[in-house]
Structure 1
Amino acid sequence: MDSPHGAAVRAEDFGLKGPRGWAFRGVGIDAAPGSLIAVEGPSGSGRTCLLLALTGRMKPTAGHAEVGGHRLPKHMAAVRRIAALGPVSGVNDLDQALTVAEQLREGALLHRRYDGPVRALLRPRAERRAAAAARVDAALAAAGLDLATLPKGERTSVRDLERLESVRLSVAIALLGSPRLIALDDLDLKLSDAEREEAWVLLRSLAASGITVLAVCSEAPGDAIVLRTVAETPDGTPDGTPDSTPDGTPDDSTGKSADEATGADDTADDTADEDVTEDVTEEVTEDDDTKGADDALAEAGRA
């Protein structure tokens, strides 16, 4: 893979309001390239909407943000080109019918077709295959996924992977595009305490390599830059007291939401969360010459 260089993430009074109210609002952050950023909060508090907005997948309606020098919401397509999605349920799920090798091959093909330089398509086939194999090997190593340890090696079905193995595979596929920022949803979902620590070790290693990491979780580690989201009460006020950053100063990143997009938890909020994603993403408009199906496929290749 190319040498990574992370994307700075900045936001001021950042918010997103849909037909059913605020998904999140009042978010503020100033994170340097290569930072580990954790979006902490309960299911249904706007965590996933914030992740999708900061990666250019949902259009914010208040304030502004800047990712890797690209301002949101004006340059959403540019942000999508540098921000890859790890596991985000309902957005870029792994194909349960494929084997691990097939899933990796599909990711490599999408990257080469839609994200890779045009001149790469002119190389001899053998050279292209060798380059793709090297890229996959590097991505697997960075994600900490050893195919030899899987029950059937690379022929193991995706549906047979453990939760942490699925996370690693999703991260490896995201890394194929050499992103400057990688975002993961529900990182600690269905993980034991030991597995949760392994997952954070992985994300710390990615951040240490220079990639900016943004992860949604229910409980953030002490060394992360934390954005906290809280749910709204029925009268529209925040449910809970103001949050603080790890050093005890007031946290300006409190979000307020009654809905959250594409939640992975098996809760009654999931249906409402999906509705928010559908309603808000319909408002997304393109802002450069990359239009229609080509842009959607490019996003799929990076996801």
Structure 2
Amino acid sequence: MKIVEASGLGLRTRRGWVYRDVDLTAETGEVHAVTGPPGSGRTSLLLTLAGRFPHSEGQLRRRGSAALGQIAGVHEPDPTLTVAEHIQERLLLLGPVPRRRRQLVPVAALRARRAYRRDAFATAIAGAGFTDAPFDPDRYGRDLTPVERQLLGLVLASLSGPSLIVADDVDAGSDAPERAGIWAALARLADQGYAVIASARAVEPGFGAIVHRIGAPARPTRAEPIPPTAAPVAPGVVEPRAAAERSEVNA
């Protein structure tokens, strides 16, 4: 099922183009990678695809809701909350799934929202498919590593049962094994039926993502599948915090 369809998408401000001529179609079960150097408009494009930022040219269609993972300055962990508190707070804000929507929400998200009083942490981690990596529920947001922030963001994003999950700068501050773990985690979410779009400076060879280079004429290409031996990374959790404003140009 097609979740996002962007055709000739562009954003132009008084300072010039933020991004332009973007064609991207994301379906359920796919991982898309938006790559490019800092200042190429990757973050702005992600926010536009998720419905959080405007565009000035082209067409954009999205089916279902979108959830944000880690996006610096927009959706980040609260430094004063623990990982477990991030999850509990998010579940309390979401509340129970209305009966009329239960068939539209993934089973994992339903279970987490039903278990928020007892087993919220364990159920949320299991629902995101990150049980093979150690999570410390008592670790504060200020102490999370870049990889843990990314993984926490993915866990929190999955709790609402969206159709689309976006995450920004997923390769920032990580080494090769950690990057392998992040891309493996994104692939697991796609396997659960989410459409996943992540931005990165580059996608290393060997990862199953459809790559879109921003600011370059190259057309999207599909990378090789993720090898089954890709090492998992210790998950962390990220609490989204809506920002009042976003700069026009985001890397």
- Bin the TM-score by the shorter chain: 0.7 to 0.9
Q: Which secondary structure does the structure 2 equivalent of 1:107 belong to?
A: helix
- Distance in 2, matches of 1:85 and 1:129, equals 18
- Aligned partners of 1:160 and 1:91: how far apart in 2? 18
Partner of 1:228: 213
Q: Does 1:90 align with 2:105?
A: no
Letter of the 2:46 counterpart: L
SS in 2 for 1:155: coil
CA 1:166–1:65: 2 relative to 1, 3 Å: same
1:246 paired with 2:190, answer no
Identity rate, percent: 36
Q: For 1:144 and 1:44, locate their aligned partners in 2 and report how far apart those are by CA, in whole Å.
A: 33
The residue aligned with 1:179 is 162
**What residue number does 1:297 align with?**
none
Deviation of the 1:136 alpha carbon: 4.7
Indicate the residue corresponding to 1:205 in structure 2: 188
Residue of structure 2 equivalent to 1:275: 247
Choose from 32, 41, 61 the match for 2:36: 41
Residue 144 (structure 1) shift: 5.0
2:107 aligned residue: none
> Which residue of 115, 119, 140 corresponds with 1:157?
140
Contact 2:208 2:222 in 1 (8 A): no
C-alpha deviation, 1:247, in angstroms:
6.6
Give the counterpart of 1:58 among 53, 69, 74.
53
Any idea what SS the aligned residue of 2:248 has? helix
Task: Call closer, same or farther: CA 1:226–1:131 in 2, change over 3 Å.
Answer: same
Which sections of structure 1, spanning at least 5 residues, go unmatched?
1-5, 69-78, 121-127, 231-240, 249-272, 279-303
The residue type paired with residue 98 of structure 2 is P
Is residue 2:171 matched to residue 1:188?
yes
User: Size of the alignment, in residue pairs?
Assistant: 217
- What is the match of residue 8 of structure 2? 13
Which one of 102, 111, 124 corresponds to residue 139 of structure 1? 124
Higher helix share: 1
C-alpha root-mean-square deviation of aligned residues, in Å? 3.1
Counterpart for residue 82 of structure 2: 99
Instruction: Show CA shifts across 1:220-272 (max 9, x none).
Output: 25521222112xxxxxxxxxx63243379xxxxxxxxxxxxxxxxxxxxxxxx
CA contact (8 A) 2:33 2:198 kept: yes
Distance change in 2, residues 1:101/1:19 (3 Å): same
Is residue 91–residue 159 contact of structure 2 (8 Å, CA) maintained in 1?
yes
Q: Secondary structure at the match of 2:94?
A: helix
- Structure 1's consecutive aligned runs of 4 or more residues displaced over 6 angstroms after TM superposition are none
Counterpart of 2:115 in structure 1: which amino acid? A
What TM-score, normalized by structure 2, do the two folds share? 0.76
Q: Give 1:218 shift.
A: 0.9
Q: Cα gap change, 1:51/1:118 in structure 2, threshold over 3 Å: closer, same or farther?
A: same
Of residues 92, 101, 105, the one that matches 1:109 is: 92
In the alignment, the residues of structure 2 paired with residue 180 and residue 119 of structure 1 have an alpha-carbon distance, to the nearest angstrom, of 17
> How far does residue 117 in structure 1 lie from its aligned partner after superposition?
2.3
How far the C-alpha of 1:7 sits from its partner, in A, is 5.2
Distance in 1 between the 2:13 and 2:179 partners? 32
Indicate conservation of the 8 Å contact 1:16/1:62, yes or no.
yes
The one-letter code sitting in structure 2 at the alignment partner of 1:158 is: G
Amino acid at match of 1:275: S
- Summarize the Cα distance change of 1:147–1:11 in structure 2 as closer, same or farther, 3 Å threshold: closer
Residue matched to 2:199: 216
Note if contact 1:17-1:23 (Cα within 8 Å) is conserved in structure 2. Answer: yes
User: Closer, same or farther in 2 for the Cα pair 1:242/1:105, shift >3 Å?
Assistant: same
